Amino acid sequence: MEEKMAAVEAEEKETVSKNFIEQEIEKDLAEGVYDHVQTRFPPEPNGYLHIGHAKSILLNYGLAKKYGGKFNLRFDDTNPTKEKVEFVESIKADVQWLGADYEDRLFFASDYFEKMYECAVFLIKKGKAFVCDLTAEQIREYRGDFKTPGKESPYRNRSVEENLKLFEEMKEGKYQDGEKVLRAKIDMASPNINMRDPVIYRVAHMSHHNTGDRWCIYPMYDFAHPIEDAIEHITHSICTLEFEDHRPLYDWVVRECEFENPPRQIEFAKLYLTNVVTGKRYIKKLVEDGIVDGWDDPRLVSIAALRRRGYTPESIRMFVDLVGVAKANSSVDYALLEYCIREDLKLKKARMMAVLDPVKLVIDNYPEDQMEEVEVPNNLENPELGSRMVPFGRELYIEREDFMEVPPKKYFRMFPGNEVRLMGAYFATCTGCEKDENGNVTVVHCTYDPETRGGSSSDGRKVKGTIHWVAAKTAKKAECRLYENIVDEEKGKLNEDGSLNLNPNSLTVLNECYVEPDLAEGKAYDSFQFVRNGYFCVDCKDSTKDHLVFNRIVSLKSSFKVQK
C-alpha cells in the first residue's frame, strides 16, 4: 500500500512539474490525436532575433526533443518588402548557436507558394474566397469594430468563375499594388474581427529574396502560416499570446483547405525584459544614427549582441528555464539574465589579472633586471582548472583605486606604511608615491619581503589586503569596454514623444588597460574573469593581435537573488 501511495505521489509531482503545453501534448498523444510530435520555429527574416525569440526557439526545440519528435526551422518569408538574405543567415547562425538542431529540415514559406496558390483557388471553387476591389482603407471601414458588426463587400457575391478569372489576372500582373485582393468569405458579423472576411492574398510587384520576380501576388501571414504547418506535418504550432485571437482563422484555413490531421495552435506568454530595446524600428534607428555599431552591438539584446557581449548558449538556456512557460504576460528583470551568465561562468573560467585603470608600482628593493614567474591558481572555486605561471618583475601595474595616500577606515589596500599581498607573489609594504604638478599620483613605491614568495609568510604574520597586478615589462596593452543599459533605467524607456530615453553612459571605453600576456592568445568570444573587475570576453569584431579589445559581459556581483 505504501509503495502504491508513493507511486501516486510521484506521478502527481511529475504532472505538476510539467508546463501546460507539455500537459496538452501528452493528452493529445494519449488520445491518439497525433502519433508523433513535430514543432517549428517560424521567424520572418526582417531583422535580427532577440532574447524573446530565444525562448520560442528553445521551447519548440525542447518539446520536440522531449517527446522524441522533430524540429523544423522555417522562414516565414511572405513579405518581400522587409526581408533580406542577411537576416536569413543571421537567424540560422543564432538558432545553431543556441543548440536547436533542425538537422536537414530548413524550409522557406516561399517554397510553398505554388501550394498556397492552389489552396486559394480551391477556396474560390468552394465559394469560400472572393476577389475584392475595395481599397485597404475601405476594407477597414467595412470591417466595423468591437461594438459594430462589419458590412459585406459589394464584391462578396461574385461568381466562382469571375473570381477564378480575376485571381488568375492578379497572378499574371494585370493589376497594380492594392488594386485588388483575395479575401476569405467567412462572417462579417463575427465577434472576432479577424474572421470578418480577412485578406488572404494581395498584389505586390516586389522582387523576392528566394523566388525573384516569379510572383507578383503574395499570401498574407494568417493564410500562409497554417498551410505551412500543415504541409510540414507540424502537430503543435506553438505561438505567442497575440495570436490567440487568430486561432479561429488558423483552424478555419486548415479545415477549409481540407488538410488531414491538421496542426493545433497553442499560445504561451512572450518574454519581456525590463528596460531593454527589442523593437526593430528602434534598433534600426539606433544603427542608422550611429548610436550603436550594428544589430550586434553588445548593449542590445539581440541574440547576436548577447553572443558578442560574451553570453553563452548555456546561460540563455538557464535563463529560459528559470523564466518558465506561462499563459499570462509578465516582465522579467534583466538582472536574472546577468545572474545566469555569472552562474554559468564562475566555475568554468580562469581568473586572470587585468588592470583597467593603471598606476605604476615600483618595488624599490627588487633587482632591476630580474624577472621571474609565480604560480597562480586559475580558479580557487574549481581546482580542476589548475594553475598558470605569470611573469613578475620590479615594475608592475596596479589599479589606481588600490592605492590611497590618506585612506579611510577599513581600507586594507596600499597606503604608506601598510603591508599587502601581491596576489600569488609576495608581501609588499607601501613606502610612498610620486605625483605630477596637478597632484595626481604617477608612481607608487614599495618594498617586498623575499621570504614571502607564494603570498604567505614563514613567521605567520597576516595581511588583510590582497591586490592584483600585471608585470609592466610583459604586460599587453588592451582596450576594455564597459557596458550599461542603453536605456536610462531611472527615467524609463520612452520619452513623452515616443523616442528612446537613452543612457549617455551606456558605453565606457578604457584605452589604457594592461593585461597579463596569456590574454593576448585569446580568440573571438573567449571569456575570462578579470580579478575583481568582472567577466570579459574577446570582442569578435574589433579585437586583433595588435589591438586587444575586451567586452565586459557582467560585473562580479549583484544584489539579485533567485527565488528557490
- Strands 466-467 and 419-422, how do they pair? parallel
Distance CA 518, CA 440 (A): 31
Q: Which of 455, 458, 460, 476 is nearest to 521 (CA)?
A: 476
CATH of 272-345, one of 3.30.1490.190, 1.10.150.650, 3.40.50.2300, 1.10.1160.10: 1.10.1160.10
Residue 180 is classified by DSSP as: -
pLDDT value at position 490? 74
To the nearest 10°, report the CA torsion of 282, 287, 291, 295.
Answer: 90
List phi, psi (to 5°) of 269: -75, 140
Per-residue pLDDT of 438-495, as tens digits, reads: 999 999 999 999 999 988 888 888 999 999 999 999 999 999 999 998 988 777 777 7
- Report angle CA 380, 445, 376 to the nearest 5 degrees: 15
Strand order in the sheet with 70-75: 38-41, 70-75, 106-108
> How much is the pTM?
0.89
The 10 Å CB-count burial string (b at 16+, else e) for 338-365 is bbbbbebbeeebbbbbbbbebbbbbbee
Interval 345-357 mean pLDDT: 97
* Rounded Cα distance, 471 and 391, in Å: 6
Q: What is the pLDDT of residue 561?
A: 58
Across the range 121-135, mean pLDDT stands at 98
- In terms of pLDDT, which residue wins out, 500 or 172? 172
CB of 508 closer than 8 Å to CB of 523: no
pLDDT of residue 11: 45
pLDDT band at 15 (very low <50, low <70, confident <90, very high): very low
DSSP string, 325-359: --SS-EEE-HHHHHHHHHHHHTTTS-EE-EESSEE
What is the pLDDT, as a whole number, of residue 5? 47
The reported pLDDT for the residue numbered 108 is 95
> Residue 383, exposed/middle/buried by CB under 10 A (0-12, 13-18, 19+)?
exposed
3-state helix, strand, coil in the chain (%, to 5): 30, 25, 45
- Beta strand 507-515 with 441-449 is unpaired
Report strand pairing: 466-467 vs 470-471: unpaired
Report the pLDDT value the prediction gives residue 13, as an integer from 0 to 100. Answer: 46
Q: Which of 315, 295, 313 is nearest to 305 (CA)?
A: 295
Mean of the pLDDT values across residues 311-318?
Answer: 97
pLDDT of residue 379: 96
pLDDT of 217-276, one tens digit each?
999 999 999 999 999 999 999 999 999 999 999 999 999 999 999 999 999 998 888 888
**In contact, 423 and 466? CB cutoff 8 Å:** yes
397-407 pLDDT, tens digit per residue, is: 999 999 999 99
Q: What is the CATH number of domain 35-268?
A: 3.40.50.620
pLDDT tens, residue by residue, 320-332:
999 999 988 888 9
CA distance 136 to 522: 56
Q: Give residue limits of the domains in the chain.
A: 35-268, 272-345, 351-554
What's the pLDDT at 279?
83
Annotate 165-201 with b (16+ C-beta within 10 A) or e (fewer).
ebbeebbeeebeeeebbbbbbbebebeeebbbbbbbb
pLDDT of residue 559: 55
Share the mean pLDDT of the chain.
92
Residues 177-210: tens digit of each pLDDT: 999 999 999 999 999 999 999 999 999 999 998 8
Q: Is the pLDDT of residue 3 over 60?
A: no
Other Cβ atoms less than 10 A from the Cβ of 271: the count is 24
Distance CA 224, CA 10 (A): 43
Compare 444 and 146 and report the one with higher pLDDT: 444
Whose CA is closest to 353, among 365, 363, 361, 364?
361
Q: What tens digit of pLDDT does each residue of 506-563 get?
A: 999 999 999 999 999 999 999 999 999 999 999 999 999 999 999 999 999 865 555 5
Mean pLDDT throughout 73-89? 90
Q: List, as one string, the DSSP characters of 141-169.
A: HHH--SSS-----TTTT--HHHHHHHHHH
Residue 80: pLDDT band (50, 70, 90) is confident
Q: Rounding to the nearest 10 degrees, give the CA dihedral for residues 99, 345, 563, 16.
A: 30
Three-class secondary structure assignment of 225-238 = HHHHHHHCCCCEEE
Q: Specify the pLDDT at position 12.
A: 44
**Residue 372 one-letter amino acid:** E
How confident is the model over 17-64, as pLDDT tens digits? 688 999 999 999 999 999 999 999 999 998 899 999 999 999 999 999
**Domain 351-554 is found in CATH 2.30.33.40:** no
Residue 277 has pLDDT above 90, yes or no: no
Which is nearest to 180 in space by CA: 210, 119, 139?
A: 139
Residue 82's nearest CA partner among 111, 44, 116, 51 is 44
Please name which of 47, 125, 40 lies closest in space to residue 79, comparing C-alpha atoms: 47
pLDDT at 525: 96
| Cell numbers found for residue 372 | 621571474
Q: How far apart are the first and last CA of the chain?
A: 32
Question: Considering just the CA atoms, what is the radius of gyration of the chain in Å?
Answer: 31
Confidence band for 1, pLDDT divided at 50, 70 and 90: very low
Are the CB atoms for 149 and 249 separated by under 8 Å? no
